[in-house]
Structure 1
Amino acid sequence: MNNNTSLIWNAILTVAVLVLFFLHFSGGKSSSFSGADSTGVQGRRIVYVQVDTLLKNYAFFDDTRKELESKRYQLENDLANRGRSLENEIQFFQQKAQTMTLDQARATEAQLGKKQQDLIAYRDRQAQTLAQQEADKNNELYDLIYKYIEKYNKDNEYEYVLGYSKGGGILFANSDLNVTQKILDGLNNEYKEKSKAGEAKKDSTAKK
């Protein structure tokens, strides 16, 4: 398993790709807003979100990371156990090979080779499944953040919501334009309500 494909790095890259949320762009709004959170370039209303802080404190991201790490750990243990079992069979065959007929030895060797191929195929299938689950969760993370910012922006009508991260393209950002906590609170509240609804539905189904 290659931990470089883990959710945390994929998600950071996925959200960083946003760089810029281009929302409700209108050339006629260049001078119609005022206030600390309305500061912008040539009158454009611009705010930013600290990507690293958002991911670090977003409950959905944290829960998903733990879930996928647990699945990865279980898969690694499963593969290790299967590998040890096959290795023991091979060692046993090597010890008993001299007592077997040529046909028995060839047949056993073919069976062990088939088991080895099956194990490799199983490993590749499970790794692909886990990678797809990670990709699906990354897409879900992207959608949740994007949709919430889009909904949040209906009331605020910002024209740009920038994704700010250390080492990214933005070298400086005025803290007055930082809406990270507002976005984070909203995302976590939505996730909390969704989780409660899911648990209630699960309990209701269990009682039937």
Structure 2
Amino acid sequence: MKNLSLALNAVLAVAVAVLYYLHFKGSDSAAAGTPAGSVGGKSIVYVNADSLLTHYDFFKDTQKAFEQKGTQLDLELNQKGATIQREIQVFQQRAGGMIAAEAQAKQLELQKKAADFENYRQKAANDLSTERAQQTEKLYDNIYNYIKKYNNDTKYQFVLGFQKGGGILFADTNLDVTQKLIDGLNKEYKETQPKTEEKKEEKK
């Protein structure tokens, strides 16, 4: 499926851009040693959404998996479609020498194959789209839940999402907590993955 990775990136980017404007109730100051700005006494930091997507391993793995699935589906559909097309061409070449009943039966058979192929194509595309939406929701949940957990200690009252072309035109880099979130999210994600040593033992 063409432009699958671009579509996935766009969907996830929008999800993350929407996510970051969060309001957390807590103390009016950030944890010691962690830079934070303030507006009206409210503690504020920001996250670079583009950078987070670029370096979050879950997103990278998900994007790679969908690219592979899209390529495999394209190949499968092209092969199935080419097979049906060849059958149609052969029928067109031989139709003149076939009796009417035989030609009609073959024509109905090919029509059914074409209809079945179109139904299969649509279902496969819908299934892939549904799975992509589920992974987008999981990405949203992963980031939201980590920020919420992270904020239990830092007590920021606003975690803003900075993105090129977004609503925030400038942000002081001293208030950037992107790398801390990337490190924490990747650590959590790594802990959910099967360990290499366990995989080696399973192969023995």
Structures share fold, TM-score greater than 0.5: yes
Question: 1:102-146: per-residue Cα shift (whole Å, max 9, x none)?
Answer: 000011001000000000000000000000010011001000001
SS for the counterpart of 1:40 is strand
Deviation at 1:38, TM superposition (A): 3.0
> Where does residue 158 of structure 1 map in the other structure?
156
Change (3 A) 1:198 1:128: farther
> Where does residue 7 of structure 2 map in the other structure?
6
SS for the counterpart of 2:35 is helix
Measured in 2, the distance between the counterparts of 1:197 and 1:31 equals 39
Change (3 A) 1:109 1:199: farther
Q: Point out the structure with the larger helix share.
A: 1
Deviation at 1:98, TM superposition (A): 1.0
Instruction: Output aligned runs, 1:71-86, within 5 Å.
Output: 71-86=69-84
Change (3 A) 1:30 1:153: closer
Gap runs ≥5 in structure 2: none
> Where does residue 148 of structure 1 map in the other structure?
146
Q: How does the TM-score come out when normalised to structure 2?
A: 0.91
Deviation at 1:33, TM superposition (A): 7.8
Instruction: Output aligned runs, 1:74-153, within 5 Å.
Output: 74-153=72-151
SS for the counterpart of 1:196 is coil
Q: Which runs of 4+ in 1 moved over 2 A?
A: 1-6, 29-36, 196-200
Contact 1:37 1:45 in 2 (8 A): no
Contact 1:37 1:46 in 2 (8 A): no
Contact 2:31 2:153 in 1 (8 A): no
Measured in 2, the distance between the counterparts of 1:191 and 1:33 equals 25
> In percent, how many aligned pairs have the same letter?
44
Measured in 1, the distance between the counterparts of 2:80 and 2:31 equals 65
Measured in 1, the distance between the counterparts of 2:200 and 2:32 equals 49
Change (3 A) 1:107 1:67: same
Measured in 2, the distance between the counterparts of 1:75 and 1:132 equals 15
Instruction: Output aligned runs, 1:51-90, within 5 Å.
Output: 51-90=49-88
Measured in 1, the distance between the counterparts of 2:96 and 2:107 equals 13
Question: 1:168-199: per-residue Cα shift (whole Å, max 9, x none)?
Answer: 00011111110000000000111111113598
Q: How does the TM-score come out when normalised to structure 1?
A: 0.89
Deviation at 1:88, TM superposition (A): 0.5
Tell me, yes or no, if structure 1 residue 20 matches structure 2 residue 18. Answer: no
SS for the counterpart of 1:158 is coil
SS for the counterpart of 1:169 is coil
Residue-pair matches, total: 203
Measured in 2, the distance between the counterparts of 1:34 and 1:55 equals 28
Gap runs ≥5 in structure 1: none
Measured in 2, the distance between the counterparts of 1:39 and 1:54 equals 20
Change (3 A) 1:33 1:89: closer
